[in-house]
Amino acid sequence: MIKYSTDMALLDSLELDGFFVGWPNPPSTNVLKSILNGSYKVILAYEDKKLVGFINSISDGVLSAYIPLLEVLPDYQGRGIGKELVLRMQEALSHLYMVDLLCDADLVPYYEKLGMSKASGVCLRNYDRQSGEL
């Protein structure tokens, strides 16, 4: 059974491997922990002692937030875990004016089904920095 939590202390007792599939320079487990610990809000999805998904946000805590990562392990995709993580994060950020998320074009319909609206934007990607290692 999948459980959900905002308790970051769980990270020390969960297996964190297998995320960032297809990334050319994926973050290490230690970098993942740093990302999540440095976030404004985090929601973890886990089963037994294994992290199977997560979502995080960064924010000023007053007006706006950005959701940089939603990850669900490949073996757990298609079970509604990502949807549940997004809905829980939307609730956690509902006090804010704007919540932005940048994704690939093929994922836009997924987020639209969850109440988000397509928008225009720009981004800069330094793929050589994707691992988060200095």
Query: Is 41 a domain residue?
Result: yes
Query: Is 88 a domain residue?
Result: yes
Query: Is 134 a domain residue?
Result: no
Number of domain units in the chain: 1
State the Cα–Cα distance between residues 43 and 5, nearest whole angstrom.
6
Question: Which token pair is 40?
Answer: 């404004």
2-41 pLDDT, tens digit per residue, is: 999 999 999 999 999 999 999 999 999 999 999 999 999 9
Among candidate residues 93, 31, 76, the one with its CA nearest the CA of residue 11: 31
46-62 pLDDT, tens digit per residue, is: 999 999 999 999 999 99
85-113 pLDDT, tens digit per residue, is: 999 999 999 999 999 999 999 999 999 99
CATH number of the domain at 101, please. Answer: 3.40.630.30
Q: What is the pTM of this model?
A: 0.95
Query: Is 34 a domain residue?
Result: yes
Query: Is 36 a domain residue?
Result: yes
Query: Is 17 a domain residue?
Result: yes
Q: Which domain holds residue 121?
A: 3-129
Query: Is 100 a domain residue?
Result: yes
